[in-house]
C-alpha cells in the first residue's frame, strides 16, 4: 500500500524550487489567510470564512496547478476559459481550502515534489475538518494539473474524503519533463513512490479523473485508464474542452452535486458540459 511505502521511504533531494515569498493577503472578505500545523511546521492556506448561519457545510480541499507548494491570489475573478481558482465551489456555498505546502511561499521545510506534500494535504484536511462550520462527513479533495496529480496521490493514501476529483493529472511526474521534481529523475524508486499509476489499487473511495479532449494530458491519463482494475477510479475525457477550459464547467456541476449530497458522474454528464 502507498501509505506504508511512503512511511518507510527516505527521499534524496537534489534541487530546490523558486522562492516566491509570503502568500498574498486576500482582498475583501471571501478568504482568510490562515496557518495550519504540519510535520514540518506551520504552513499557509486560504480558507473561506464562516458564513455565520450556524450550520455545517460541505467542504473541499483544492490543490492548484503549477508550483502547487505555493499559493497566491484565488479571489480575483478569472475568465471562464481558465478559472484555476475553481470559484464555482465557493459560489455554491462549499467551503474551500487552498493549502500551500512545504517549501512553498515562505513555509518551512523543503519541496519534495509529490511525496511529503501528501502529508501536508492531510494535515490541511485535519485543520479544515476542525472548523465549526464544516461538516466532517462531507469533505472532498480536488486539484488541477500538478494539483490533480497530488490529489490522486493523496486519494491513494487515505479513505477520508467522500470523493476525489482530479483534473488533468499525469500518470507519473516524469511526464512533466523534469519540472516540479526535486529528486533524481533517473531514480526509479523515487519516481515509483510519486507515480499515481502505480497505486491505483489503493483507492478506496470514489475518485474521478478528468481531462479536456483537446490539448491536455489525456495521453498520460490513458496509460492509467488502461492499467486500472479498481472500480473506485473512473477516467473521463471531456469533449469540447482543453486542459484549462474544463475546470469551470466541471466545478459548476460537481459543486451542485456536492451541495445536493449526491455525486453522480458519467460519460453523459461530461459530454453535456458547456
Full pLDDT tens readout for the chain, 274 residues: 999 999 989 999 999 988 899 999 999 999 999 999 999 999 999 999 999 999 999 999 999 999 999 999 999 999 999 999 999 999 999 999 999 999 999 999 999 999 999 999 999 999 999 999 999 999 999 999 999 999 999 999 999 999 999 999 999 999 999 899 999 999 999 999 999 999 999 999 999 999 999 889 999 999 999 999 999 999 999 999 999 999 999 999 999 999 999 999 999 988 888 7
Closest CA to 40 of 101, 109, 106: 109
pLDDT recorded at residue 42: 98
219: three-class secondary structure by DSSP: helix
Predicted local confidence at residue 8, as pLDDT: 87
Q: What is the DSSP letter of 172?
A: S
Compute CA distances 181 → 117, 129, 185, 186, whole Å.
Answer: 12, 30, 7, 11
Angle at 147 between CA 14 and CA 273, to 5 degrees: 155
Per the DSSP assignment, residues forming a β-bridge with 34 are: 45
| pLDDT at residue 218, rounded to an integer | 96
CA-nearest of 73, 61, 63, 68 to 23 is: 73
State the pLDDT at residue 137.
Answer: 97
Q: Comparing C-alpha atoms, which of 167, 163, 152 is closest to residue 250?
A: 167
In Å, how far from its chain's centre is CA 190? 21
Q: Tell me 162's DSSP state.
A: S
**Is the four-CA dihedral 220, 153, 265, 211 of positive or negative sign?**
negative
pTM, rounded to two decimals: 0.97
- Give Cα 229 distance to the centre of its chain: 22
Q: How many CA atoms lie within 13 A of 123 on its CB side?
A: 20
- Fold for the domain defined by 25-261: Rossmann fold (3.40.50)
| 171 grid coordinates | 500518470
Residue 130 contacts by C-beta under 8 Å, 6 or more apart in sequence? none
Amino acid at each position: 500500500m502507498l501509505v506504508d511505502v511512503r512511511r518507510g521511504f527516505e527521499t534524496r533531494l537534489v534541487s530546490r524550487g523558486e522562492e516566491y515569498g509570503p502568500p498574498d493577503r486576500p482582498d475583501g472578505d471571501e478568504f482568510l489567510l490562515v496557518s495550519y500545523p504540519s510535520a514540518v511546521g506551520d504552513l499557509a492556506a486560504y480558507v473561506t470564512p464562516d458564513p455565520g448561519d450556524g450550520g455545517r457545510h460541505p467542504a473541499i480541499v483544492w490543490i492548484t496547478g503549477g508550483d502547487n507548494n505555493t499559493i497566491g491570489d484565488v479571489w480575483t475573478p478569472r475568465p471562464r476559459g481558465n478559472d484555476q481558482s475553481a470559484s464555482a465551489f465557493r459560489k455554491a456555498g462549499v467551503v474551500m481550502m487552498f493549502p500551500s505546502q512545504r517549501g512553498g511561499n515562505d513555509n518551512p521545510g523543503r519541496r519534495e515534489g509529490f511525496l511529503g506534500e501528501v502529508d501536508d494535504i492531510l494535515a490541511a484536511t485535519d485543520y479544515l475538518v476542525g472548523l465549526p462550520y464544516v461538516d466532517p462527513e462531507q469533505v472532498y479533495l480536488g486539484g488541477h494539473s500538478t494539483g490533480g496529480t497530488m490529489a490522486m496521490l493523496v486519494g491513494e493514501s487515505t479513505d477520508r474524503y467522500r470523493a476525489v476529483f482530479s483534473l488533468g493529472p499525469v500518470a507519473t511526474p516524469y511526464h512533466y519533463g523534469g519540472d516540479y521534481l526535486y529528486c533524481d529523475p533517473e531514480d526509479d524508486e523515487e519516481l515509483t513512490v510519486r507515480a499515481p499509476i502505480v497505486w491505483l489499487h489503493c483507492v478506496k473511495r470514489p475518485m474521478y479523473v478528468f481531462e479536456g479532449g483537446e490539448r491536455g494530458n489525456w495521453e498520460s491519463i490513458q496509460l492509467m485508464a488502461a492499467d486500472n482494475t479498481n472500480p473506485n477510479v473512473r477516467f473521463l475525457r471531456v469533449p469540447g474542452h482543453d486542459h484549462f477550459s474544463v475546470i469551470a464547467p466541471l466545478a459548476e456541476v460537481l459543486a451542485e452535486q456536492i451541495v445536493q449530497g449526491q455525486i453522480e458522474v458519467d460519460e453523459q454528464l461530461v459530454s453535456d458540459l458547456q
